[in-house]
């Protein structure tokens, strides 16, 4: 585990509100409990429960959104989530979130995203490079800072890019609004679109126009695909040919063959799949088949707060379940650079970061 923490890592499937710290969630719920907006004891019971079905997880998201969705809180959660990933040596993250509207508090999808960006700007414990045109960020070397005793110490740096999620409860118009917003926010690091939300809700045809528009305008697309058995939808999603897909738990027959043939990278979230009972146990997880077939893969957390995990824990779990050694884990982490949505300049920098780890640790 310690080694997994020390290794540089790339996180490509993390939902902002699902990555909230337990302590923050409880604190926010307590505050609202005191104001009489909710009954804290009911809330606490749900938060502290560790085994949840997929249906229960989406109930939990509704609760989380009740306490998190105001601008100040969104900025705070963004800051904490990035600090947490950086502290375990995640060097590049694509953080995804669903822009929300809430008239009663004057929130629009744009102001929600501005709160996320404010959160990124407010981080000073680590170097956060999220603006594509930030010249300082083009150096792969850590920047330096001076500690209390005047020693110069290297600072951690994390490269952050954002994906805007379309929730499967949304209409075509809502989805289109999110895509247009993403196009307007390219300068603050938005690189793509995700389709997520409760997989038993909504129809692929509702989201297709917005996703197609996003694709035509140069945004990268990742889709939650095959989180429940739905071969027709899986087929339609593969025909769309997204740059990546998340989960891929319920692929069979032709769809499985097609996924491999198209070589679409899969974002694998082991703990999430087990906790939500999408996969009964790690011995039958599709990671093994895909890994052995040399299929492009990336190990991710999904919702590190909701599932009490971290990227390091996910690597450690993969190592013990599928017999990976340090070299294999390092290679897996490094291979993920190829599947990021940021430009080649960032890929070059990340490769240098991984090179320096090899030199230092004589892997």
88 is catalytic: no
Instruction: Return the structure tokens found at 100.
Output: 């929300």
Smallest distance, ligand 6MZ to C-beta of residue 136, A: 28
Strand partners, 157: 127
Q: Which is nearer to ligand 6MZ, 287 or 330 (CB)?
A: 287
Q: Which of 227, 233, 267, 314 is catalytic?
A: 227
Q: Which is nearer to ligand 6MZ, 307 or 357 (CB)?
A: 307
Alpha helix (H) residue ranges in the chain: 2-6, 22-34, 40-48, 54-68, 71-87, 109-121, 172-184, 204-216, 231-240, 253-262, 270-275, 287-292, 311-322, 326-335, 344-361
Please give, one letter per residue, the 3-state secondary structure of 181-217.
Answer: HHHHCHHHCEEEEEEECCCCCCCHHHHHHHHHHHHHC
Look-up of token digits 């809700």: 201
Residues that bind ligand 6MZ (CB under 6 A): 15-18, 57, 61, 97-98, 165, 167, 196-197, 224, 227, 272, 276, 302-303
Smallest distance, ligand 6MZ to C-beta of residue 167, A: 5
Q: Which is nearer to ligand 6MZ, 255 or 272 (CB)?
A: 272
Smallest distance, ligand 6MZ to C-beta of residue 168, A: 7
Strand partners, 154: 144
Query: How far apart are the C-alpha atoms of 48 and 31, rounded to whole Å?
Result: 17
Q: What is the DSSP letter of 148?
A: T
Q: Which is nearer to ligand 6MZ, 75 or 276 (CB)?
A: 276
Smallest distance, ligand 6MZ to C-beta of residue 144, A: 33
Q: Which is nearer to ligand 6MZ, 116 or 350 (CB)?
A: 116
Q: What are phi and psi of 297, to 5 degrees?
A: -140, 150
Q: How many residues does the chain have?
A: 363
Smallest distance, ligand 6MZ to C-beta of residue 120, A: 14
Active site members:
227
């Amino acid at each position: 585990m310690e080694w997994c923490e020390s290794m540089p890592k790339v996180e490509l499937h993390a939902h902002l509100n699902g990555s909230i710290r337990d302590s923050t969630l409880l604190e926010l719920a307590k505050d609202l409990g005191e104001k009489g907006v909710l009954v804290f004891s009911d809330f606490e019971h749900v938060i502290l429960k560790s085994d949840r079905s997929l249906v229960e997880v989406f109930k939990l998201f509704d609760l989380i959104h009740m306490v998190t969705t105001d601008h100040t809180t969104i900025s705070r959660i963004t800051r904490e989530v990035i600090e947490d990933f950086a502290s375990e040596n995640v060097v590049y993250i694509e953080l995804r979130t669903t822009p929300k509207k809430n008239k009663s508090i004057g929130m629009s999808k744009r102001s929600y995203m501005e709160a996320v960006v404010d959160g990124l700007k407010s981080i000073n414990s680590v170097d956060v490079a999220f603006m594509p045109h930030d010249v300082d960020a083009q150096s792969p070397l850590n920047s330096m800072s001076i500690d209390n005793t005047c020693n110069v110490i290297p600072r951690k740096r994390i490269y952050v890019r954002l994906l805007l999620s379309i929730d499967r409860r949304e209409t075509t118009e809502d989805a289109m609004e999110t895509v247009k917003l993403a196009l307007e926010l390219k300068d603050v690091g938005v690189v793509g679109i995700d389709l997520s939300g409760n997989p038993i809700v909504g129809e692929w045809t509702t989201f297709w126009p917005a996703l197609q528009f996003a694709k035509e305008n140069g945004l990268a697309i990742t889709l939650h695909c095959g989180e429940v058995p739905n071969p027709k939808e899986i087929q339609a999603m593969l025909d769309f040919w997204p740059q990546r897909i998340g989960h891929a738990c319920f692929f069979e027959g032709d769809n499985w063959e097609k996924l491999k043939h198209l070589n679409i990278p899969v974002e694998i979230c082991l703990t999430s799949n087990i906790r939500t009972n999408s996969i009964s146990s790690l011995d039958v997880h599709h990671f093994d088949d895909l890994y052995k077939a040399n299929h492009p893969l990336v190990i991710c957390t999904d919702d590190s707060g909701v599932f009490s995990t971290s990227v390091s824990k996910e690597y450690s779990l993969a190592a013990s379940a599928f017999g990976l050694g340090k070299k294999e884990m390092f290679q897996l982490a490094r291979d993920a650079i190829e599947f990021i949505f940021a430009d080649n300049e960032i890929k070059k920098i990340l490769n240098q970061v991984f090179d320096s780890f090899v030199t230092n640790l004589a892997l």
